Amino acid sequence: MNTLNREQCEIAIAEWTNCCNNYQAIKNLIPTNYVFNFDADEVDWMKKLNKNTDFCTQIGIYEDKLVAILYPMDERGRKIPSDNYAYSSLNELDRDLRLVETEEYTIVKNAILSKDLQKIDGNADMYFPVSGKPMLDQDKAVTAIESWRNDGMSWFFRECDEFDGNRIFKRFYVPSRDLIPSKPGLTNIICSFGLKFSEVYQRVLPTLIFISFYQDLQNTGSIEKISNTYDWSEPCPPICKYM
């Protein structure tokens, strides 16, 4: 498990905050086809400590790389103290990214994003009806990821040029259920940036999309909906609902 101690976390967070008004530095730090990758041990660590319906993913810079630091929260939304916190560095995918969703009722949908986050394949097969709790619609997830890949740097340029970087995210609040496996055999969770229009704020906001991977991800005839794409994460700023 990759961890940072408290002092390393504070330094990493401060470096990102200081970088947010520097478009060129951001451009060098964030290739828009790169992702975070959390292994099963890091996911288990967060699940055991977190007491809130959300958890915090804090953005920082460590060893000249953008990092996502996992912070468990208590019932009131305060970060739970720990000697070390799990983190992942932003890196290039080492393989194509397959998104799978068994759509409610009849259709099993598959989509493949290439290592640089371009859609390269998609298909749909019919199976027996299934049902279960709603999850993030796969098409919306793919659209958000592709939007980030194509327009992420334009978003950063505008934020730096017009708002001096003050509106750029410092952290994200993520639904805790994103860490709950839908089946046994979780190996890792890929976390990708996305761009999504907010009706409330009437502007495009970044989001994090968590995609889980298993040793055997396929339609097994389960009566529950099977998906490896989950819910929208909320960037702070502007959505700073916890202290």
- What's the rounded Cα separation, in Å, for the pair 189 and 186? 8
Q: Let me know if 89 is exposed, middle or buried by CB neighbors in 10 A (0-12, 13-18, 19+).
A: middle
Specify burial of residue 188 (Cβ count, 10 A radius: 0-12, 13-18, 19+): middle
pTM: 0.81
Q: Tokens 């009131």 label which residue?
A: 76
Joined together, the tokens standing for residue 210 give 């968590």
Average pLDDT of the segment spanning 15-44: 95
Residue 224, pLDDT score: 42
Instruction: Look at the block and give the residue holding tokens 């996911």.
Output: 43
**What average pLDDT does the segment 105-131 reach?**
59
pLDDT averaged over the chain? 84
The string of pLDDT tens digits covering residues 207-222 is 999 888 887 645 443 3
C-alpha closest to that of 194 among 117, 135, 95: 117
Give the pLDDT band (50/70/90) at residue 101: low
- The reported pLDDT for the residue numbered 68 is 98
* Cβ atoms within 10 Å, residue 107: 13
pLDDT at position 55 is 94
Q: Answer whether residue 128 shows pLDDT above 50.
A: no
Q: Give the residue, 182 or 177, on which the prediction is more confident.
A: 177
Rounded to 5, what percent of the chain is helix, strand, coil?
A: 25, 35, 35
The full DSSP string for 25-69 is HHHHH--TTEEEEEEHHHHHHHHHH--SSEEEEEEEEETTEEEEE
Cα distances (angstroms) measured from residue 14 to each of 10, 58, 94? 6, 11, 30
